[in-house]
Every structure is written in structure tokens, then in C-alpha cells.
Homo-oligomer: A and B are copies of this chain.
Amino acid sequence: MNVLIVFAHNEPRSFNAAMKDLSVNTLEAAGHAVQVSDLYAMGFNPVASAADFSERANPDYLVYALEQRHAYGKGALAPDIAAEVDKVKWADLIIFNFPIYWYGMPAIMKGWIDRVFISGLCYGGRRIYDRGGLKGKSALLAISLGGQAHMFGPGAVHGELEVMLQPILRGMLAYVGLRVLPPYVAYHVPYLEEAERRSILEGYGLHLQGLDQLEALRFPSLDDFDETLRPCVNAASTAAR
């Protein structure tokens, strides 16, 4: 399996960095090929702008997704984007390894999604969800949180973690056709003792060794929606006709 690890942390000796190192070692030991995009180390530019295209479909008015589609077809994507797109195409599994900032990705990683999940290759029209452009590949979140496990769930102070992660799990990963594996979540990381950190790291190693046994999360199927993306009233019978 080819594994791309997209990693973002601004402290090189962080717990997230230890997760990243562990995943490289664990996956390589299991015979997989691994590439790491260490976004802070790369000085990755997260800002989607006109500078991302060396040729434009419409030089006078920027519609970013339309220009992504055009530039991908013409080989006119900025080199830093093109390099990441090549890694995405190469990968069978993409791991996103980051600390939760404001219930989402740090901006440097959100901008990787904005710029690298290009229209045309990854999605377009009805090529979304189970017809998405990255169908056949898988994705895994490996994240750390400041909060404790009891702060998440129905009725908990921050609500359900699955809800807070919906824009990522569904809106980014499932949307482009990725098979979304259950996230590995390290709680309360800034406040842990060394032994607890080690135990959570070991848990991550086991999660990675058991990827084959994990059941993917469930998301919409385009089979259940019509041409205008309205729900089919009788999805099954419509499909049977």
C-alpha cells in the first residue's frame, strides 16, 4: 500500500510529531511505502489565489474551482500544488495528522485541502461521495485534542465529536470519494504524563496495524439522489427500473 501522511504541527518535538514518526515506522515495517508532507517544514502556502495558475480560463475574473479544473487539464497548476496532487494520485491511503484547532484543521492544513483537492480530479458535477474522483483510496484522521473524552458526546459540553468533525469527514474526505476510516483521537494531550502519552501512542500503533479490520464510516450514496441531487423518493425501485 502507498501511504501519504499529511502532517501539520508547529512544534517539531510535539506529540503529533511522535504520532507521525510512529506511523512512518509502523507502516514501513509492515511493508508499505510512505511519503510525508510535513507542511510546516515545507513552509506550505495555504492561501488559494490567482497565483496558483500559470494559465487561466478567464484571466479577468477568478472562480477558483473553475481555474483548478482548467489548470489541471493544461498542466498549469503551481508547482507546489502539482507535487501534492501527484502524491494524492500515488497514495492508496492518506493520513491527516494534526492537532485540532477550533474544531478543525490548522489553517496550513485547511489550505492544503483548498489548494490540492482540485476540481476536475477530485470532484466535479455529480462525481461526489461514492462517485467522487478519489474513489478506491482511503483516508484516516490522526488527531490530538486539548479536551478530555467526557467533554464530547450527546449532552456533553462540546457536543458530539462526530458532529464537530463532519465538515472534515463528510465535507472533505467522503465528498471526494475517499473511504473514511474511524479517526484515531488522542485526548487531553497537552496535559498528559509521559506514561499516558506512551500508552496513547501505542494505541495509535495498534490502530494502524489493524486498519484492515476497521469498518469505514457511512456517507450518502449518489444512487439515492436524482440528477438535480434531490433525494429519490423510491431510491431502490428507481435503481431497479
Residue positions of A touching B, CB distance < 8 A? 10-11, 13-14, 40, 46-50, 61-66, 101-108, 110-111, 113-114, 117, 129, 146, 148, 150-151, 155-159, 163-164, 166-167, 170-172, 175, 190, 220, 222, 225, 228-231
Contact = CB atoms under 8 A, between A and B. Distances in A.
Contact of A10 (B50, B107, B157): B50
Contacts of A49: 10, 40
B63 A11 contact: yes
16 contacts: A10-B48, A11-B50, A13-B61, A47-B107, A48-B101, A48-B106, A63-B190, A102-B117, A102-B167, A106-B114, A107-B107, A107-B110, A129-B157, A156-B231, A159-B220, A163-B163
A96 to B, nearest CB: 13
Nearest to A11: B62
A171 B62 contact: no
A66 B101 CA distance: 13
Nearest to A119: B146
Identify the 3 closest CB pairs spanning chains A and B, nearest first. A107-B111, A103-B171, A103-B167
Contacts of A164: 166-167, 170-171
Contact of A11 (B46, B61, B163): B61
Nearest to A146: B65
Contact of A102 (B47, B151, B172): B172
A18 to B, nearest CB: 13
Nearest to A231: B155
A193 B166 CA distance: 32
A157 B110 contact: no
Contacts of A108: 46-48, 107, 111
Contacts of A106: 48, 110-111, 114
A46 B111 contact: yes
Given A10-B62, A11-B63, A157-B229, A104 B167 contact: yes
A49 B108 CA distance: 10
